Amino acid sequence: MSESQSESSFKIEAKNIDVFYGEKQVLKDVNMPIEGNTVTALIGPSGCGKSTFLRLFNRMNDYIDVFHKKGEILIDGKDIYRKKTNVEELRKSVGMVFQKPNPFPKSIYDNIAYGLRIQGINKKSLLDEIVEKSIRQAALWDEVKDNLKKSALALSGGQQQRLCIARTLAVEPSVILMDEPASALDPISTAKIEELIQELKEQYTILIVTHNMQQAGRISDKTGFFYMGDLVEFDETQQIFTNPKNERTENYISGRFG
Amino acid sequence: MNNLQRNKIKDKAFKYFGVTCTFFGIFILGVFLFGIINDGVSRINWDFLTNLPSYRPKKAGILTAWTGTLWIFGLTAIFAIPLGIAAAIYLEEYGKKSWFANLLEINITNLAGVPSIIYGILGLEIFVRLMGLGGSLLAGSFTLSLLILPVIIVATREALKAVPLTTRTASYALGATKWQTIWNLVLPASLSSIITGVILALARAVGETAPLIVIGALAYVPFVAKTPLDEFTVMPIQIFNWISRPQHGFTINAAAAIIILLAFVFVMNGIAVYIRIKAKKKSH
Ligand SMILES: Nc1ncnc2c1ncn2[C@@H]1O[C@H](COP(=O)(O)OP(=O)(O)O)[C@@H](O)[C@H]1O
Ligand SMILES: [Mg+2]
pLDDT score recorded for residue A68: 95
* C-alpha to C-alpha distance for B164 and B254, rounded to whole angstroms: 48
Min Cα–Cα distance to chain B from A124, Å: 17
B48-283: what fold? MetI-like fold (1.10.3720)
Q: pLDDT of B127-177, one tens digit each?
A: 999 999 988 999 999 999 999 999 999 999 999 999 999 999 999 999 999
pLDDT score recorded for residue A255: 80
Average pLDDT over residues A128-136: 96
Residue B114, chain A, CB below 8 Å: the answer is: no
pLDDT score recorded for residue A1: 38
pLDDT score recorded for residue B76: 96
Classify the C-alpha dihedral B206-B210-B211-B213 as positive or negative: positive
pLDDT score recorded for residue A5: 47
* C-alpha to C-alpha distance for B258 and B264, rounded to whole angstroms: 10
d(CA A100, ligand 2 centre) in Å: 11
B175–A92 C-beta distance less than 8 A: yes
Residue ranges making up the domain that contains A229: 7-100+174-253
pLDDT score recorded for residue A157: 92
Does A1 map to a domain? no
pLDDT score recorded for residue B55: 85
Please check whether residue A225 is in contact with residue A44, taking contact to mean a CB–CB distance below 8 angstroms: yes
Q: Are strands A205-209 and A39-43 parallel, antiparallel or unpaired?
A: parallel
Ligand 1, residues A43, A51, A55, A177: which to mutate, most atoms within 8 A of Cβ?
A51
Does A66 map to a domain? yes
Q: What single string gives the DSSP state of each residue in A126-145?
A: HHHHHHHHHHHHTT-HHHHT
Q: How far is CA B9 from CA A182, B6, B15, B16, B256, in A?
A: 48, 5, 10, 11, 47
Instruction: Collect all residues with Cβ–Cβ distance below 8 Å to A251 and sequence separation of at least 6.
Output: A257
Give the pLDDT band (50/70/90) at residue B16: very high
pLDDT score recorded for residue B56: 85
Please check whether residue B77 is in contact with residue B202, taking contact to mean a CB–CB distance below 8 angstroms: yes
Please check whether residue B229 is in contact with residue B100, taking contact to mean a CB–CB distance below 8 angstroms: no
Count of the separate structural domains present in chain A: 1
Checking if the pLDDT of B219 tops 80, the result is no
Q: What are the residue boundaries of the structural domains of chain B, listed by start?
A: 3-43, 48-283
Checking if the pLDDT of A4 tops 50, the result is no
pLDDT score recorded for residue A132: 97
Give the pLDDT band (50/70/90) at residue A101: very high
Average pLDDT over residues B59-80: 93
Q: Which of B164, B169, B174 sits opposite A115 (nearest CB)?
A: B174
Give the pLDDT band (50/70/90) at residue A7: low
Checking if the pLDDT of A145 tops 50, the result is yes
Residue A200 maps to which CATH number?
3.40.50.300
User: Could you report the predicted ipTM of this complex, rounded to two decimals?
Assistant: 0.92
Does A32 map to a domain? yes
Checking if the pLDDT of A163 tops 50, the result is yes
Give the pLDDT band (50/70/90) at residue B283: low
SS3 of residue B178 by DSSP: helix
Residue A82 DSSP symbol: S
Q: Which of A90, A151, A168 sits opposite B282 (nearest CB)?
A: A151
Residue B174, chain A, CB below 8 Å: the answer is: yes
Does A139 map to a domain? no
Min Cα–Cα distance to chain A from B282, Å: 7
Residue B177, chain A, CB below 8 Å: the answer is: yes
Checking if the pLDDT of B279 tops 80, the result is no
Disruptive mutation site among B174, B181, B280, B283 for chain A (greatest number of A CBs within 10 Å)? B174
Does A131 map to a domain? no
SS3 of residue A105 by DSSP: coil
pLDDT score recorded for residue B125: 93
Average pLDDT over residues A241-251: 91
* C-alpha to C-alpha distance for B252 and A162, rounded to whole angstroms: 66
pLDDT score recorded for residue A3: 42
Does A138 map to a domain? no
Does A12 map to a domain? yes
Average pLDDT over residues B226-250: 91
Ligand 1, residues A28, A48, A52: which to mutate, most atoms within 8 A of Cβ?
A52
**Which is more confidently placed, B244 or A258?**
B244
Residue A27 DSSP symbol: E
A89–B174 C-beta distance less than 8 A: no
* C-alpha to C-alpha distance for A44 and A253, rounded to whole angstroms: 9
Rounded (10°) CA dihedral A45, A48, A50, A55: 150
* C-alpha to C-alpha distance for B108 and B93, rounded to whole angstroms: 16
* C-alpha to C-alpha distance for A141 and A120, rounded to whole angstroms: 25
Q: pLDDT of B78-129, one tens digit each?
A: 999 999 999 999 999 987 777 887 888 888 888 888 899 999 999 999 999 9
Nearest C-alpha to atom 16 of ligand 1 is from which residue?
A49
Residue B246 DSSP symbol: S
* C-alpha to C-alpha distance for A39 and A50, rounded to whole angstroms: 15
Give the pLDDT band (50/70/90) at residue B238: very high
Which ligand has its closest atom nearest to the C-alpha of A183? 2
Average pLDDT over residues B215-219: 84
SS3 of residue B114 by DSSP: coil
pLDDT score recorded for residue B100: 82
Q: Which atom of ligand 1 is nearest to the CA of A53?
A: 17
Binding-site residues, ligand 1, Cβ < 6 A: A 21, 26, 44, 46-52, 64, 66
Please check whether residue A210 is in contact with residue A41, taking contact to mean a CB–CB distance below 8 angstroms: yes
Instruction: Give backbone dihedrals phi and psi of A236, rounded to 5 degrees, phi first.
Output: -55, 140
Mean pLDDT, rounded, of chain B? 90
* C-alpha to C-alpha distance for A49 and A70, rounded to whole angstroms: 15
Give the pLDDT band (50/70/90) at residue A257: low
Closest chain B residue to the Cα of A154, Cα to Cα:
B284
Does A105 map to a domain? no
